[in-house]
Structure 1
Amino acid sequence: MNKALLSFALLCVALTGHAQGGNTGMGGEDGDYQSLMERLAKVEKKHDMLDVYINYAASAQAREATGSSWQTRFANKELRLELKGNLTDKLFYRLRHRLNRRNDAQGSDNFSKATDIAMVGYSFSDKVTLMAGKMSQIWGGYEYDANPMFVYQYSDMLDHMEIFQTGVTLSLKPVPTQEFALMVSDAHNGSLEDYYGNDAIVVTDNGDYRLLERANHPLTFIANWNGSFFDNQLQTRWAWGIQKEAQGKYSRMITLGQKLNLPQLQWYVDYMAEFDDLDRLGIATEDLADRFQPQIYYYEYGYPINNLVYQPYEPMNLHCGKVHYHTWISKLNWQFAPQWNLMLKGTYETASMQQVERYKNYRKSIGWAGAIEYYPDKTQDLRVFLAYQGQNINYSKESALGGKHSNRIELGFMYRIKCY
């Protein structure tokens, strides 16, 4: 039996891993857990050139939503594998890959969508670090940077963001508690057509339809500040950036995260705002684009006949323009007893199509979640959870859209296996 487990551990070393905490950089703290290899082979690991992790989450779910009754299923939520390490005191690397995504290379960066991170970094000193490759964009906020396995349900904005891009990041730490970073990356993994489709047209009001043109330099520029105050009890993750979507069309974002970090209680509040010339997130386009398809009315004696309309041509590939999004997220973790954690979370989000009066502030979304987590083994990063998530989406009367809601109950586990 031990030989079989040891063989499995060796296979893990050959294939896999994942980091606790952050998407950005080398991730968050790894925790003081003994690896599977050390426990089975009884050999102490004396270097950090290779760390290997498997993140796996699964649950039994009961859910219902607008237009459907309660349904149950078993779901494999996450399976991410990671390798990372320090080859020297200056040179480091990180790879992260999802096994529950397609593996074929897509887009101009020649990476699969399943590959989150494939980067190398070099620390010139304790104050200057350069990283290059495919990695998470350095937006601010704490939910954005969390290990995806530990997020029960993302906000609508984060759920629609495409964050893993190829680029270069320069990190400056003038003092140990303050970090400033600059990043230049691709705006998308693929071409304009890959993301928005062929013959894409942006519409900003009922009469302004413009064919999108490829940008010569479709890049993203982000400035980031990570701060720590009062012996790390107050933390900040702020960022501002601009992304070129198409010729003359930009997306601007500001993300502000603040976190209270106490020994047995952690609470963060994130604010995110996006101002799009072209709807990058696609939420407004999904809700409203059909409303802007050209229509022709049948007339008789100067009056429409029974409001009969038809579309004489194939529907156009329309995308909304001049869209504003705002998101507020508040999340609390409280370790109220040894090996127990209570999680409470709320979100509030709005969407607005600024140049169309009837669609200004047309959408408001409220989400809530709660979970009880139990850690059965102090030597392993394993948690068993019972969670509930819900969401209500309300639309303005002027938009004439129907509201939506959803509810989900889950009983499952999250296990971060340290293989090596």
Structure 2
Amino acid sequence: MKHLVNVVVLGMSLFAFGQQKQGNDSLTNPLIPVEKQNLLPDLDLVFFMRYALDSDIGESKFTSSRFNGNELRLDLSAKVHDRVGVRFRHRFTAPPSTGTLDHVNSTVDIAFVDVKATEKLNVTLGKLSADWGGYEYDLNPIEVLAYNDILSHSENYMVGFGMGYQINEKHRVTGQVLNASTSKLKDISTMTIPDRLEETKVPLAFVGNWRGSFWHNQFQTSYSYSYFSQAKNKGMYYIALGNKLQRTNWIWMYDFQYSHDALDTRGIMSAMFPEEHPIMAEQVSYIDHWTRVDYSFFSKLTLSLTLMTSGAYVKNTAVESKGNKHVRTTYGVIPTVQYCPFKKLDLRFYAAYVGRWSKNSSYAKEEFSQVNDNTGRISIGFITPLHVL
């Protein structure tokens, strides 16, 4: 594709150059200046897409079917200097809103400048993807039909800066300093903030990540630790431990994630409160387990199985209590079959079932009138990272 674009642009330029002798009209100048055309090989334009016919099931009963544009993201990256690159990714399948803290539209996933300071050290500045760690998060969003509880209720893209250092060919460490959120605490959700809380004057997040490779790259790790300042003297601690084992025709991934939130900004626990505008819960913990196996038959057929579970615990709620309380456990299963008919194009047709179940503790049933439930979705469609340039 890049060669075709170069040929077309060169042809346009030669045509315009020949026409310049006949007049001085600016329309006779090449659309892309000749001196800039050598930048095209350093430009990448990708459409990340997932479309499907989704059929929803609630409480074991069919509810609806419709065609769904699940994922559509435009990803543009370019090298503008020997040591400087830029990247921009926009999501078209999410409602737009402007962050009251960073003033960036929420549909912008990432928009940053990447500077190669040395052969081993690089610096990124702008709106970044938080380097959480774990392989559920590292997967391209078009590959994930449903996230586990922690990631599905997280803000994953924030403004700040990061540094990455390549220790050697097998180990890399990164560190980031980001805004703790895209918006101020009072604007994060419809929940009521406890009266005694004060907005922190430094709403920042600190993220550290280590990626390792062992046994000739067959076993890889992505471990991270993060601290997010939520309010004055209130913060969130988050640990993600990702492990991946890769062989010739199969890949196994397992993530452990633990989040202890002084304030329930995720809203998972607080949403259980019966009030229309519930008071945000405090001292909430979430523990997630996620695993996925991909097995390839021949070169065109891939079977995948994703299993996940999440536990929610709370210490302080609107109901007076002492000690930690186990509130809810959720489960998920996603069997998927993918078929790729083309050798040189990553366009996959897939069929999958997304099943989710929640089991509430007796404490949740008695205090918050919660009931167990289950949902399902049958999805038939296609997935592609379509490289245009």
- TM-score, structure 1 length as denominator? 0.79
Task: Tell me if the contact between 1:134 and 1:166 (Cα under 8 Å) persists in the aligned partners.
Answer: yes
Counterpart of 1:125 in structure 2: which amino acid?
Answer: T
Partner of 1:383: 348
Task: Tell me if the contact between 1:366 and 1:392 (Cα under 8 Å) persists in the aligned partners.
Answer: yes
Alpha-carbon distance in 1 for matches of 2:298, 2:8: 34
Structure 1 residue 199, shift from structure 2 partner: 5.6
Judged with a 3 Å threshold, the aligned counterparts in structure 2 of structure 1 residues 411 and 136 are, in CA distance, closer, same or farther, namely: same
Partner of 2:338: 373
How many residue pairs get matched?
355
Task: Tell me if the contact between 2:250 and 2:293 (Cα under 8 Å) persists in the aligned partners.
Answer: yes
Alpha-carbon distance in 2 for matches of 1:126, 1:360: 50
| Residues 145-294 of structure 1 aligned to structure 2 (within 5 Å) | 145-197=138-190, 200-201=193-194, 210-287=195-272, 289-290=273-274
> Alpha-carbon deviations, 1:117-146, whole Å to 9, x = none?
000011122211111100111111001111
Partner of 2:309: 348
Counterpart of 1:321 in structure 2: which amino acid?
Answer: E
> Alpha-carbon deviations, 1:14-63, whole Å to 9, x = none?
xxxxxxxxxxxxxxxxxxxx569559959999964210011121111111
Counterpart of 1:406 in structure 2: which amino acid?
Answer: T
Judged with a 3 Å threshold, the aligned counterparts in structure 2 of structure 1 residues 155 and 35 are, in CA distance, closer, same or farther, namely: farther
Counterpart of 1:277 in structure 2: which amino acid?
Answer: A
Q: How high is the sequence identity, in percent, across the aligned residues?
A: 26
Partner of 1:309: none
Alpha-carbon distance in 2 for matches of 1:240, 1:87: 33
Partner of 2:119: 126
> Alpha-carbon deviations, 1:309-359, whole Å to 9, x = none?
xxxxxx665000011100000001111222111110100110011353597
Alpha-carbon distance in 2 for matches of 1:352, 1:115: 32
Counterpart of 1:220 in structure 2: which amino acid?
Answer: A
Indicate whether 1:334 and 2:295 are aligned.
yes
Q: Which runs of 5+ in 2 are unaligned?
A: 11-36
Task: Tell me if the contact between 2:191 and 2:280 (Cα under 8 Å) persists in the aligned partners.
Answer: no
> Alpha-carbon deviations, 1:347-373, whole Å to 9, x = none?
011001135359711101111011110
Partner of 2:67: 74
User: Tell me, what secondary structure is at the counterpart of 2:81?
Assistant: coil
User: Tell me, what secondary structure is at the counterpart of 1:193?
Assistant: helix
97-106 vs 328-337, greater mean Cα deviation: 97-106
Q: Which runs of 5+ in 1 are unaligned?
A: 1-33, 202-209, 294-314
Counterpart of 2:217 in structure 1: which amino acid?
Answer: N
Alpha-carbon distance in 1 for matches of 2:127, 2:221: 24
User: Tell me, what secondary structure is at the counterpart of 2:146?
Assistant: coil
> Alpha-carbon deviations, 1:261-312, whole Å to 9, x = none?
223111110000000110121100111x33xx6xxxxxxxxxxxxxxxxxxx
Judged with a 3 Å threshold, the aligned counterparts in structure 2 of structure 1 residues 342 and 351 are, in CA distance, closer, same or farther, namely: same
Partner of 1:111: 104
Alpha-carbon distance in 2 for matches of 1:324, 1:69: 34
2:380 to 411, 415, 419: 411
1:93 to 83, 86, 90: 86
User: Tell me, what secondary structure is at the counterpart of 1:237?
Assistant: strand
Alpha-carbon distance in 2 for matches of 1:108, 1:140: 24
Q: What root-mean-square deviation, in Å, do the aligned CA atoms of Structure 1 and Structure 2 show?
A: 2.4
Task: Tell me if the contact between 1:267 and 1:333 (Cα under 8 Å) persists in the aligned partners.
Answer: yes
User: Tell me, what secondary structure is at the counterpart of 1:399?
Assistant: helix
Alpha-carbon distance in 2 for matches of 1:117, 1:347: 27
58-67 vs 136-145, greater mean Cα deviation: 58-67
Judged with a 3 Å threshold, the aligned counterparts in structure 2 of structure 1 residues 247 and 330 are, in CA distance, closer, same or farther, namely: same
Partner of 1:393: 358
Alpha-carbon distance in 2 for matches of 1:198, 1:154: 23
Judged with a 3 Å threshold, the aligned counterparts in structure 2 of structure 1 residues 326 and 199 are, in CA distance, closer, same or farther, namely: closer
Task: Tell me if the contact between 1:80 and 1:99 (Cα under 8 Å) persists in the aligned partners.
Answer: yes
